[in-house]
Structure 1
Amino acid sequence: MLKIYKSLESGPLEELNLKTLERGAWINIVAPTPYELKVVSNLTEVEPDFLRSALDNEERSHIDVEDNSIMVLTNLPVMHGPEMYDTLPLAIILTTDYIITVCLADTPVLSEFNQQTSNAFRTYKKTRFLLQLLYKSATYYLRYLRQIDKLSDEIEIKLRDSLQNREILRLLELQKALTYFNASLRSNAAVLDKLMRIRSNHNVQNIIKVYEEDEDLLEDVIIENKQAREMGDMYSTILSRMADTFSSIMSNNLNLVMRFLTAVTIILAIPTAISGFFGMNVSIPFADSPLGFFYVSLIAIVMAVGCAILLWRKNMF
């Protein structure tokens, strides 16, 4: 899907197409076809590798600079389900005339920039628009991290009452999400550091023009990303310790069950042994007594009860 927008001076977005493409437009490419990439590359004179860089799920965040364009590849947080979090690469390409975004899917970060929010950004202010995209990405990391924290609290309460496989698997899913988030936030931090350095590079000042407001916004992006990293590390540590704790609880519960079953086996073995002794084909007590079965049963019960009391005092139950 390929959409082209340009901010009007009055605020709203004007939707364009490839034939009416104008300077200062935002070209948003989602799940592109090879034809769309080729057409955009020819019209904007952007390296095809720049446009294809976001099509690899495993691509890490980085910045590439060419003579007439800069590509900032960052990782965005996404939700694939109520408790399934992941990251997707987003390529943001700045040229002297356009800003281009390429992503494998339509993410909430990109969806935030629409007609309803058009007064908050301008497509022809490319550097500020770039920083606004990065800032929005950092805020979504924070939002999803808070959701993960609430879900982990909910899982912890349920695990206190019942150690079910479903809750353990939910905990594992959240740990996996935090691993993805922490890796992406670290690589995004490296991108922001490099962006801080290259903004003063004279060779790219015709593409990236940083004004005083942009400096403040860049600092806000760095602060938000740092906060998200710290939260991600903290929640990851908490979930890891929680998993270790409940693993120990499960092992302890298993030991308790095994101890109980061992005690029951010992108690049941006493009547079995006594009945075996009195079932031998030799002379035994009570063989000629009509109450012999009653006496043997009484002996077995008394000995089993005595053994049960002894085991109970030894905390075997």
Structure 2
Amino acid sequence: MAPIRLAIVGLGKIARDQHLGAIEATDGVNLVAVASRNAQLEGVHCFHDIADLLASDVGIDAVSLCTPPQGRFAQANAALDAGKHVMLEKPPGASLSEVYALEALAKAKGLTLFSTWHSRAAAAVEPARALLVRRKIKSVSVEWKEDVRHWHPGQAWIWEPGGLGVFDPGINALSIVTRILPEPFHLVRSDLTFPANRAAPIAASLAFEMVSGTPVSAEFDWRQTGPQTWDIRVETEEGPVVLTHGGSRLIVDGEPQIVEEDREYRNLYRDFVSLVRSGTSDTDFSPLVHVADAFMLGRRIQTEEFED
């Protein structure tokens, strides 16, 4: 089959750090255009925005949206309306209502919509999922702490409504937990810490319960310096199951099982090619549902001002 002709919309840090290399390494997809207000890429067609891209005579089959979640609905809606398949960087949107509207539009037009969760594509996630189906879970604890100044330097959008604040990385943890646990869970407590000068939280302490009553806790913080922490620990009657390094490493009963280099975005583009060719979509929005619940049930705690 002919390769998918792809355009990237938003040529910022995540596109350059992850998407460009992953596209180049993936069979079945070719990057032919970019749309960016502030950057260009040599060797492909360049446009100021998605409107200019879609109005041009450059042939594309799909777009990968790497822009901030605020304003992404209009971009995705325009692409779907123009008959293009759409791949959404996480989080898939700024609100639940808009992502469900996109899901309905893609279905009505017979197009692929792919809500990506790059941490789910880490090496240890599927082995952990298969293992936990066979074990009796006693508790789950998540510790996801990193340095916002390192990972998001000068990115003001993350502190605005819809930018999610600490849930920008925290949703990665939730994407893994919603994948590996064998039963649903729901939020029962949410404490959100907001800097006095910001509209989005810098830390979150969450308590969930599985349908069976098994506790699930999560601690997210954007103020950690030095080594970063991306750990999920599942205590089972048979022994501990631990995912570390953002889901790329698996330790079972104290014994390392999987250690693998970062292939997350290559896996995502492989899956996107498969979805487009099969005429299907992947629109699991459950991680965003849990984030929305955290804001709905959140108790606001104010802390000192934060400056980038």
Give the TM interval when normalised to the shorter protein: under 0.3
Q: Which has the higher helix share?
A: 1
The two structures have a TM-score, normalised by structure 2, of 0.26
Normalising by structure 1, report the TM-score. Answer: 0.25
Structure with the greater relative contact order (CA < 8 A, sep ≥ 6): 1 or 2? 2
In terms of Rg, which structure is larger? Answer: 1
